[in-house]
Amino acid sequence: MNNTRFATSVHILTLLALKPEEWLSSEFIAGSININPVIVRKEIIFLSGAGLIQTKKGKDGGAKLNRPASLIYLSEILEIVHYSDMLGRKNLNTNPQCFIGSQINERLDSLFKRTDLLIKESLGKQSLADFLNQF
Amino acid sequence: MNNTRFATSVHILTLLALKPEEWLSSEFIAGSININPVIVRKEIIFLSGAGLIQTKKGKDGGAKLNRPASLIYLSEILEIVHYSDMLGRKNLNTNPQCFIGSQINERLDSLFKRTDLLIKESLGKQSLADFLNQF
DNA sequence: TTAATTGTAATGTTTTTTATTACAATTAAA
DNA sequence: TTTAATTGTAATAAAAAACATTACAATTAA
């Protein structure tokens, strides 16, 4: 993947972790990341769907953490933003009549999956609180 | 990253590893991957620049491995395609007046670098020959 | 009743990635 | 010497992905 979704989600959650009692608005969060509030709201929907945060509509609404930052792991964030195939994309349409072309995507798949798992295991040891404590 | 460069390079090298004595043309290789030959030639330039393969111009020219596949590691390929920030991109332009916004990219950088290193170490244990042997 | 906010859709813009065309330079072989 | 095949390279086009923007209904608090 080559987008900013992981960085954006981590940023959102770090802000929420810093003020666990407050409802932070998408406008405020967007101002910290310096991106459009709609992008933040869309990302927040995923985080909320995964149970990491809760949101409140209407005046003085916003988002806040649903559990302590010490119980939120970076691996969860990675899963929420659908990161996989960290080593890139495969060439679809490889030649089915070629010995290599016909099988390479299965082999790459296996390699990619093992690599993704390695990263997830590593991020599974790092909590949002750990991350925030580095500031 | 969200491109096919790693997959393409591995594909090229796997074909070369299968026929270590032959000069394979970009046209032939492109036919196996099913992409444009110019893309293959461009990728080959990087592989050649890194010393993994050699090329021969003119009629009956092409590319072949420069060392045994058992001495080529997947980590080298990763480096050649300039993969880094495997966890994605950062939001540049974060708010310098925000406690989080002003520091998050340093923290993410550190996290991203550690993650990249982990992957490189893992791929450093897998040779091209190992990969080909799975076919 | 008003103001602030989320949720969502629709559309537009920018950036990244891949493909295509073209051709000079090189090399092998007829 | 001529021909054919090939790399190396540039320039441009097309396609895909990512991000931004606008708009507004629904909701909520004050």
The DSSP annotation for B66-116 comes to SS-GGG-BHHHHHHHTT---TT----TT--TTSTTTTTHHHHHHHHHHHHH
- Nearest nt to the CA of A33 via C1' is D19
Summarised one tens digit per residue, pLDDT across range A101-123 is: 999 999 999 999 999 999 999 99
Instruction: Report helix, strand or coil for B117.
Output: helix
Q: How far is the CA of A131 from the C1' of D7 (A)?
A: 50
Min distance A106 CA to chain B CA atoms (Å): 9
- pLDDT at residue number B18: 97
Right CATH number for B5-133 from 3.30.565.10, 1.10.287.130, 3.40.50.10320, 1.10.10.10? Answer: 1.10.10.10
Question: Can you say how many angstroms the Cα of residue A92 is from the centroid of all Cα atoms in its chain?
Answer: 26
Q: Which two tokens stand for residue A66?
A: 């649903």
Decide if pLDDT at B1 tops 70.
no
- pLDDT at residue number A1: 66
Q: How far is the CA of B123 from the C1' of C10 (A)?
A: 44
The low-confidence residues of chain A, meaning pLDDT below 70, are: 1, 84
C-alpha to C-alpha distance for B99 and B128, rounded to whole angstroms? 46
Are B15 and A107 in contact by the 8 Å Cβ rule? The answer is no
Interchain pair B88, A6: CB under 8 A = yes
Beta bridge partners of A33: none
Are A96 and B11 in contact by the 8 Å Cβ rule? The answer is no
The protein footprint on chain D, as nucleotides within 7 A of a CB, is: 4-11, 17-23, 26-30
Decide if pLDDT at B73 tops 90.
yes
A9 CB neighbour count, 10 Å cutoff? 24
Are A94 and B11 in contact by the 8 Å Cβ rule? The answer is yes
- pLDDT at residue number A86: 84
Cβ-based contacts of A94 with chain B (< 8 Å): 11, 32-34
Q: How confident is the model at residue B33 (pLDDT cuts 50, 70, 90)?
A: very high
Show which residues sit with Cβ under 7 A of nucleic chain C.
A 2, 24-27, 37-38, 41-42, 44-45, 48, 55-63, 89; B 1-5, 35-36, 38-39, 56-61
Interchain pair B134, A7: CB under 8 A = no
Sketch the domain layout of chain B as residue ranges: 5-133
C-alpha to C-alpha distance for A75 and A120, rounded to whole angstroms? 5
Single-letter amino acid, residue A98: C
Single-letter amino acid, residue B58: G
Closest of A96, A103, A101 to residue B29, by C-alpha = A101
Summarised one tens digit per residue, pLDDT across range B103-123 is: 999 999 999 999 999 999 999
Residue of B nearest to A131 (CA): B107
Sequence-distant contacts of B31-34: CB under 8 A, at least 24 apart: B31/A95, B31/A98, B32/A94, B32/A95, B32/A98, B32/A100, B32/A101, B33/A91, B33/A94, B33/A95, B33/A101, B33/B8, B34/A91, B34/A93, B34/A94, B34/A95, B34/A101
Interface test mutation site (partner A, options B100, B112, B114, B119, max chain A beta carbons within 10 A):
B100
Tally of CA atoms within 13 A in the half-sphere of A9 that contains its CB:
28
Interface test mutation site (partner A, options B13, B81, B98, max chain A beta carbons within 10 A):
B98
Interchain pair B99, A10: CB under 8 A = no
Min distance A70 CA to chain B CA atoms (Å): 17
Are A79 and A120 in contact by the 8 Å Cβ rule? The answer is yes
CA quadruple B34, B35, B37, B39: dihedral, nearest 10: -150
